[in-house]
Structure formats: structure tokens, C-alpha cells
């Protein structure tokens, strides 16, 4: 039986949850992958590094298996033999209770080349994010990994119960009870038995212990106790898998070192409604403050259907006294179109540049390498109209506005009323409502798991409400709303939604400050 020349399978450790903990090598391989095979414990946001790849979910969690290990092995072999570059994305590290060894054996037996990229395992990362150092010279000189349900027959897969050599993995409880620091993987259901066996074999009942659920993820929850009372505390907190339990005196350092759960937005889910092109910057900053971010773009951007007016305007920019940008998106689309028609920043000639907002001014400097001549402190069109009038830069002057197709008419109207010789208002990009909101957001709203929704423009507010449906007020009941400025706030109020906070400075930094 003949095959295409084999591809290659990369077993990549995805880390324990925080997308920032993927290795540089792992990220680079995702960017090159034809196929990504990912599991329950690998953060699906990592798929953003592989937009070109076919993604195959083989998720496994206790007692629920979308694919058996043998089926996963066969899938990897099949994709490798088909000549594909495959990334097998595994939560944590491939070889730390990750079944990576079995997958490598299957690939080797089938003649499929493979490589292994280690990842940060949960036993190190989850305690670090919970403020627990797994080693400390005052407490321990060793650290031991144990699977929490290796011998719990009721939690095993059928094939694990009968696999050859199973008896060799019996836990040596007398030895474990003497060790200073233990990490139990995935042992929530068996935690009462684990703690009981440790106490029976001589570990002091007051030994500090902590269970960390969704370690390194914004959903992280930590319950602290001793081996005598931790199982009861876990039951009362209704803490389920995936979780990691750390047992040892190092747990007592958590009050001093708990940095992750102390961040201002920790534990809060924040919805970002910006366009897909703009969302990442705000999402990263919110994540850095501890938020669980759900991106729900309500607007899609595209070049205008008719580029003739755009090209005519760009070829004559130098004849205008002022060129006005009202958004960073406008700057980027102008730069792109200038290059496409064989022009560059020299096209601006002697035209002066005005901007609404610091982000727009920064885009002009960074994208076009041009100096901004006027950027009023208030980031609204009315403020720019006032500033141009006060500087005697309206009457008898020619103005070119390079904006979105849905930009408010107030700037054009004010300039004309104040005596502008000519106001050319040209749409350099179009905005379209998104087709639908992500199912994850709909589910989170229904479950009451969303604390904040952020709005950075009137159009995001209108589109978000339209996509939610007629009962949008009921769906947003109890959800706090953050508005970037007065124009957006006015739109929200017209929709019957009262913002909880409004940014004092009408930009992303102001919005973040208001949320904090």
C-alpha cells in the first residue's frame, strides 16, 4: 500500500491555560501548521496562531471522551502519512501525564517523523499563579509529581484498566507521606482517599494543602486548607476538574506571594465588542489586569466597494489645506491604498494633518511617519471643529476628511457652516455588521457569567444590541456596561442601556482606567 511522502507531527506542550505560556517554538510551529489536533486542556485561543490550519478537537475529560487514545494515535498517523505538517497541541507538557509517549510510539511504528516541544506543566505553573512556590529552601529540597487518579478504577478509561504493566504504577503511600512537597494531577474526585492515605501513612494532618482549578487561567480558583480538611472545603466550594493539588509547607507562603488573583479585574469576564482588527490590543490589556476576555466583534471592516472616489482624493491630497483623520483604521486603510496605487506619504505635500484622538495621532506617526498638526484634548468631532475655527483654519480653506462610511456628519456640517471653501468627505473604509455573536458569549450571558461589556463606539453598541435580539435588555440584566465616551454613552441611553462607567479620557487607556 503506497502513501504520500510522510509529513511530520510535532507534539507541542500548550502550557496549562494562559496563552502567553506557549513556548516560542510552539507558537512558531502553530503558524506553520497544516493541521492542529488539540485537546480539552489546551486553550483554544492558541488556534489564533494557526488561522490557516484545519483544527481537529479530540477533547478528553474525566469520564467523557470524544476520542479514545487509540483513535487519536490513528488520526496522527493518518495525517502524518498524508504529508501534512501536524501540531498535536497538548495541555501542559506532552510527557507529564500527557500520553505523549504513547503517541510517539504509534508514530514511530508507522514510520511518521515526529518532534517533541516541551511545555510548562501545570504542577509548576498553577501553584506559581496561586502564589505557591513549589520549592523553597526553608521548606523542601524535592518536589514530586503524582497522577491523582492513576489507580482510581472508576475514573479510568476501559483500556487503562487492562493495560499491560498496570500494577507497576501502584502508589507508594508510605514513601509519599515522608516527602516535603507533592503535586497531584487531576485528583479532585479521589482527593478524600489521597489525604486519608497520606495521614494513615504518617503525614501530619495539619500539613498545608491547596487545590487550584483552571490554574493560570482567568477562571482560576484556589481553595486552601490542610490534608485533614481540604476534601471537605473542596466539596463545599463545589470545585471540580481540571484541578491540581499541592501538598506541603510551601502552601503557607500563599498570603505573601498571591500576585495573580490580586489583580484588579481578576475573576471578572469582560466582553470586547471592537472589530476583529482592533480587539487584540484591548483584550491583551484587560487580560493583564486579570480579566477573562470574550471577544465579540460586532463590526467588520472592508475597503470601499467603489475605490474611484478614494483614489481621486488620495491623488490630490496635496491640494488640500487640511487632511483630517478620525480613526486609526482610516489611517491604515489610506496607507494601504496609497501603496496599491503607487504613492506614499509624499502625496500629502504641504497639507496639514488633524486627528481625533491620541490613537489616531499615534497611527499617523507610526504608519505614515508624519507629524500631526492638530489633535484637540477632547476626542470628539465637535472639539476638532472648534479647534480649527479658533486657529482661523476653516474660512477660505479646503478640507479633506478621510473616514469611515458611517462617520457622523457633524464635522462636515460644522466646517461648511464656518466658511470652509471645500469639504470633501471620503469614505476610505466601510463598516458592516457582524453576522452573529460567538456562541461562547451567548452561553456566558445565559449562565450569568459576564460581568462587563465594553463599547468603544456607537456602531458597536447598535450592532451588539441588534445581534442580541429584541430581548437584549433581559439578556444584559445585571451586566455592567463601560462606555468609551459621551457619544457612545448617548447611543447606549437611546437604546435604554445606562453605562456603569464612562471613560474620563475618551480612549482605550481611559476605558481601562474606568474599569479598574
Residue 277: predicted pLDDT: 58
Residue 146: predicted pLDDT: 93
Is the model's pTM score more than 0.85? no
Residue 438: predicted pLDDT: 85
Give the integer Cα–Cα distance in Å for 195 and 229.
9
Residue 177: predicted pLDDT: 96
C-alpha to C-alpha distances, 28 to 16, 32, 497, nearest whole angstrom? 18, 7, 43
Largest CA distance in the chain: 92
SS (HEC) of 207-236? CEEEEEECCCCCCCEEEEEECCCHHHHHHH
Give the integer Cα–Cα distance in Å for 37 and 55.
6
Give the integer Cα–Cα distance in Å for 328 and 332.
6
C-alpha to C-alpha distances, 167 to 150, 151, 162, 164, 171, nearest whole angstrom? 10, 9, 10, 8, 10
Q: Is 443 a catalytic residue?
A: no
Residue 461: predicted pLDDT: 93
Burial class (CB in 10 A: 0-12, 13-18, 19+), 389: middle
Please name the helix (run of DSSP H) or strand (run of DSSP E) that holds residue 463, with its range, or none. Answer: helix 458-468
Q: Is 39 a catalytic residue?
A: yes
Residue 84: predicted pLDDT: 96
Show the domains of the chain with their CATH numbers: 8-120 (3.40.1010.10), 124-261 (3.30.950.10), 269-298+434-515 (3.40.50.10090), 302-431 (3.40.50.10090)
Catalytic one of 18, 28, 34, 60: 60
Question: Could you tell me if 83 and 6 are in contact, meaning their C-beta atoms sit under 8 angstroms apart?
Answer: yes
Residue 278: predicted pLDDT: 62
Task: Tell how strand 398-404 and strand 221-226 pair up.
Answer: unpaired
Full pLDDT tens readout for the chain, 516 residues: 344 567 999 999 999 989 899 999 999 999 999 999 998 888 888 988 998 999 999 875 544 557 889 999 999 999 999 999 999 999 999 999 989 999 999 999 999 999 999 999 999 999 999 999 999 999 999 999 998 764 444 434 444 445 444 444 468 999 999 999 999 998 788 999 999 999 999 999 999 999 999 999 888 999 999 999 999 999 999 998 889 999 999 999 999 999 999 998 998 999 998 765 565 778 888 988 989 888 888 888 889 999 999 999 999 999 999 999 999 999 999 999 999 999 999 999 999 999 998 889 999 999 999 999 999 988 889 999 999 999 999 999 999 999 999 888 999 999 999 999 999 999 999 988 888 888 888 989 999 999 999 998 898 899 999 999 999 999 999 999 999 999 999 999 999 999 999 998 877 788 888 888
Residue 42: predicted pLDDT: 83
Residue 48: predicted pLDDT: 86
Residue 164: predicted pLDDT: 47
Catalytic one of 18, 34, 39, 321: 39
Give the integer Cα–Cα distance in Å for 423 and 507.
27
Residue 301: predicted pLDDT: 85
Amino acid at each position: 500500500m503506497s502513501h504520500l511522502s510522510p509529513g511530520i507531527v510535532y507534539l507541542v506542550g500548550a502550557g496549562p491555560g494562559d496563552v502567553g505560556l506557549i513556548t516560542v517554538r510552539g507558537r512558531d510551529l502553530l503558524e506553520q501548521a497544516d493541521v492542529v489536533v488539540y485537546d480539552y486542556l489546551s486553550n483554544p485561543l492558541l488556534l489564533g496562531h494557526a488561522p490557516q490550519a484545519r483544527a481537529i478537537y479530540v477533547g478528553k475529560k474525566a469520564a467523557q471522551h470524544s476520542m479514545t487514545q487509540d483513535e487519536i494515535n490513528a488520526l496522527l498517523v493518518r495525517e502524518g502519512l498524508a504529508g501534512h505538517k501536524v501540531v498535536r497541541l497538548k495541555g501542559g507538557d506532552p510527557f507529564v501525564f500527557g500520553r505523549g509517549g504513547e503517541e510517539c510510539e504509534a508514530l514511530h511504528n508507522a514510520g511518521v517523523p515526529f518532534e517533541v516541544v516541551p511545555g510548562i506543566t501545570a504542577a509548576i505553573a498553577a501553584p506559581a499563579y496561586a502564589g505557591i512556590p513549589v520549592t523553597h529552601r526553608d521548606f523542601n529540597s524535592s518536589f514530586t509529581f503524582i497522577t491523582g487518579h492513576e489507580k482510581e478504577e472508576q475514573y479510568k478509561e476501559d483500556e487503562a484498566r487492562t493495560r499491560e504493566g498496570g500494577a507497576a504504577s501502584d502508589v507508594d503511600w508510605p514513601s509519599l507521606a515522608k516527602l516535603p512537597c507533592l503535586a497531584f494531577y487531576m485528583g479532585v474526585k479521589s482527593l478524600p482517599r489521597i489525604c486519608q492515605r497520606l495521614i494513615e501513612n504518617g503525614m501530619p494532618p495539619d500539613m498545608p494543602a491547596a487545590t487550584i482549578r483552571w490554574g493560570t487561567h482567568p477562571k482560576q480558583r484556589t481553595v486552601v486548607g490542610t490534608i485533614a480538611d481540604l476534601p471537605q472545603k473542596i466539596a463545599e466550594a463545589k470545585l471540580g476538574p481540571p484541578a491540581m493539588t499541592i501538598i506541603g509547607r510551601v502552601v503557607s507562603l500563599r498570603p505573601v506571594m498571591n500576585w495573580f488573583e490580586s489583580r484588579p479585574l481578576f475573576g471578572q469576564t469582560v466582553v470586547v465588542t471592537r472589530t476583529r482588527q482592533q480587539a487584540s490590543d484591548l483584550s491583551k490589556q484587560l487580560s493583564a489586569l486579570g480579566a477573562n476576555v470574550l471577544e465579540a466583534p460586532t463590526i467588520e471592516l472592508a475597503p470601499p466597494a467603489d475605490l474611484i472616489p478614494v483614489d481621486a482624493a488620495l491623488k490630490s491630497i496635496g491640494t488640500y489645506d487640511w487632511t483630517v483623520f478620525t480613526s486609526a483604521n482610516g489611517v491604515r486603510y489610506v496607507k494601504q491604498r496609497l501603496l496599491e496605487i503607487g504613492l506614499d506619504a509624499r502625496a500629502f505635500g504641504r497639507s496639514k494633518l488633524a486627528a481625533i484622538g491620541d490613537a489616531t495621532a499615534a497611527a499617523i506617526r507610526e504608519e505614515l511617519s508624519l507629524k500631526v498638526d492638530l489633535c484637540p484634548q477632547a476626542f470628539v468631532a465637535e472639539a476638532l471643529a472648534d479647534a480649527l475655527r479658533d486657529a482661523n483654519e476653516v474660512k477660505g480653506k479646503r478640507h479633506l476628511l478621510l473616514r469611515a462610511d458611517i462617520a457622523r456628519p457633524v464635522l462636515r456640517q460644522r466646517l461648511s457652516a464656518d466658511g470652509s471653501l471645500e469639504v470633501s468627505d471620503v469614505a476610505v473604509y466601510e463598516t458592516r455588521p457582524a453576522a452573529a455573536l460567538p456562541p461562547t458569549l451567548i452561553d456566558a450571558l445565559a449562565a450569568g457569567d459576564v460581568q462587563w461589556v465594553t463599547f468603544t463606539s456607537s456602531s458597536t453598541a447598535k450592532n451588539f444590541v441588534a445581534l442580541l435580539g429584541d430581548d437584549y435588555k433581559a439578556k444584559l440584566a445585571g451586566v455592567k456596561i463601560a462606555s468609551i465616551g459621551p457619544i457612545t454613552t448617548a447611543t447606549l441611553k437611546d437604546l435604554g442601556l445606562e453605562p456603569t462607567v464612562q471613560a474620563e479620557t475618551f480612549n482605550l487607556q481611559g476605558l481601562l482606567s474606568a474599569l479598574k
